[in-house]
Amino acid sequence: MSIAENPGLRERKRLATRKAIQSAVLRLATEKGLEGVTVEEISRRADISPRTFFNYFVSKEAAIVGDGPELIESAELESFIQGGGGDIFDAVGDLMAEAADRASEDRDTLLLRRALHKQHPHLFALRMAGMRQFEDELTAVIARRLAHDDPSLARDQAALTSRARLITLVAIGTLRHAWSCWADEENGESLAKRVRDSFDQLDHLLVAAAAR
Amino acid sequence: MSIAENPGLRERKRLATRKAIQSAVLRLATEKGLEGVTVEEISRRADISPRTFFNYFVSKEAAIVGDGPELIESAELESFIQGGGGDIFDAVGDLMAEAADRASEDRDTLLLRRALHKQHPHLFALRMAGMRQFEDELTAVIARRLAHDDPSLARDQAALTSRARLITLVAIGTLRHAWSCWADEENGESLAKRVRDSFDQLDHLLVAAAAR
DNA sequence: CTGCAAGATTGCAGAGCATGCAATAATTGA
DNA sequence: TCAATTATTGCATGCTCTGCAATCTTGCAG
C-alpha cells in the first residue's frame, strides 16, 4: 500500500472487467456486425458470465457507446466563470475540447467505436442521450458565468436560464459538427483539435451573420 | 370516388390503425408508466394482434415518439434557396417553424407525448435519432443556398458542406431549445411560435457575441 | 359480379434481451 | 484469521422482436 492506495485491488479489477467487456463488444461488432453479436458471446470473450455483463452495462449498446463526458475540475470551472470579457463560445469550446481530451481512451477503441457509429446512427443517438447530464451541468456553469458577466441579467432568472440553455445547445451542435468532421476524416486529428476547429468556424459564422 | 381518390380504403385503414396504436400506447404509458406497458396490452387496446403491432412500429418506443419532421414543398424550398440577403438563421428558423406546424397532430396526443418526453429523457434521444434524415435534407438545402449566395464558396466543396452542416447543427440546437421551452410551459404557445422565439433569441445572441 | 393478384393480419415457434433472487466466492479492514 | 462488504454466478422468468406460412381483405380488370 505504498505507491497509490486510491485504487484498491477491487477497483482495479472492476475497471479491467469493464474494459474487457468494451473491447470484446467492439471487436465482435466489428467482425460480425452489430446484429450478429449476442451477450452470450460477448461474455465468453470477456471471460465473465452473461449475468455479470448486465451488472456492468444495461444493454449491448450501452457497452459500445461508453460513458458520456464529464465536466472539468472546479478550479478551472471557476476561471471559466470569472473569465469574462472574451467570446463565450470560445470559452465553452475550450471547456469542451478539454473534456474531449480527458474522455479519450486508447486509439484502437476510439477508431472501432467511430466506425460503428458511422454504420449505425442509432448508436449515435444513444450517445447523445448519455450526454444529458453533461448538458445540464454545462447549462448551470454557463448560467453562473452569464450572471457574473452581467449582474443585471441575474435578476431575471427565467431569461438567464433560457439564454444559458440556448448557448449550451448551440455548443452541443458545434460539438456534433466536430464529431461529424472527425468521423469523415480518413484517420486524422485528435478529437480535441477538431473541436477547436469547429468552434473557430462557429466564430466566423457569427461574425458573418452579424455583419450582414 | 368523387371527393378525393388519393386515399383508398386500404390507405385509410392503415392510417387509422397507426393512430389507434399511437393513442393506445400513449394513454397506457401515461396511466401505468412506460415500463409497465407491454406490447400485448397495447395490441389489446388497439384491437390488433401483437404480431401486427410490429408491422407498424419496430418497438414500443417508436410508437410513442412518432415520425420525424419532413422538409417542405419544393416551391417554398426554391424561394428559400434563392431568398438571399437576409440572415440565414432567420430563414432556417422559418423553415423549421413551418415543419413543426405541419407535423403537429391533435392536441391530446401532443400533450401526452410531451409529458412522457419530460419523464423519460431517452425517448427524447430516440426522437433526435429519428431526425437524421431531416438533418441531412436540411444540410443539402442549406448548401444550395450558400452556393447561391456566394458562388465563390461553391468551388470549395468541402468548405461548403462543412459550413452547411454547422449551420444545420446550430439550427437543430435552437430547435431543441424551442422544445425545451415548450415543454417547460404549463400549457402554452404552439410549438411553431416557440420555434420562432428561440430563433429570435439566437439572433440576439449572435449580435451580442459579434459586437463584443 | 366474379375472380385473381397484391397486400394486410394473424398465430406460432424460436432466439435473444434483461431482471430478480439466492447461493457462492473474492476483497477489505480490523 | 475472522467478519463485513461487495462481486460473480446460475437459474427461473417474462418480454421483445423476427421469420414463416396460412388466412383474410382490398383493389382492379373483365
CA of B197 to C1' of C15 (A): 50
Query: Is the distance from CB of A68 to CB of A131 less than 8 angstroms?
Result: yes
Please state, in angstroms and rounded to a whole number, the distance separating the CA atoms of residues B69 and B103.
Answer: 6
Per-residue pLDDT tens listing for chain A (212 residues): 333 456 788 999 999 999 999 999 999 999 999 999 999 999 999 999 999 999 999 999 999 999 989 888 778 899 999 987 788 999 999 999 999 988 888 888 999 999 999 999 889 889 998 999 999 999 999 999 999 999 999 999 999 999 999 999 999 999 999 999 999 988 778 999 999 999 999 999 988 776 65
Query: Is the distance from CB of A103 to CB of A69 less than 8 angstroms?
Result: yes
Instruction: Give CA angle at B131 (B56, A199), nearest 5°.
Output: 160
CB contact under 8 A, A162 and B201: yes
Report pLDDT for B2: 36
Question: Rounded to a whole number, what is the distance in Å from the CA of A187 to chain B's nearest CA?
Answer: 17
User: All 3 cell numbers of residue B174?
Assistant: 435552437
Per-residue pLDDT tens listing for chain B (212 residues): 333 446 788 999 999 999 999 999 999 999 999 999 999 999 999 999 999 999 999 999 999 999 889 888 778 899 999 987 788 999 999 999 999 988 888 888 999 999 999 999 889 889 998 999 999 999 999 999 999 999 999 999 999 999 999 999 999 999 999 999 999 988 778 999 999 999 999 999 988 776 65
| Domains with residue ranges and CATH for chain A | 9-65 (1.10.10.60), 74-210 (1.10.357)
CB contact under 8 A, A202 and B170: yes
CA of A10 to C1' of D6 (A): 9
Nearest to A174 among B125, B163, B170 (CB): B170
> Long-range contacts of range A44-53, CB-CB < 8 Å, 24 or more positions apart?
A46/A17, A46/A20, A46/A21, A47/A20, A48/A17, A48/A20, A48/A21, A52/A17, A53/A21
Question: Rounded to a whole number, what is the distance in Å from the CA of B180 to chain A's nearest CA?
Answer: 9
Which residue in chain A has the smallest CA separation from B169?
Answer: A173
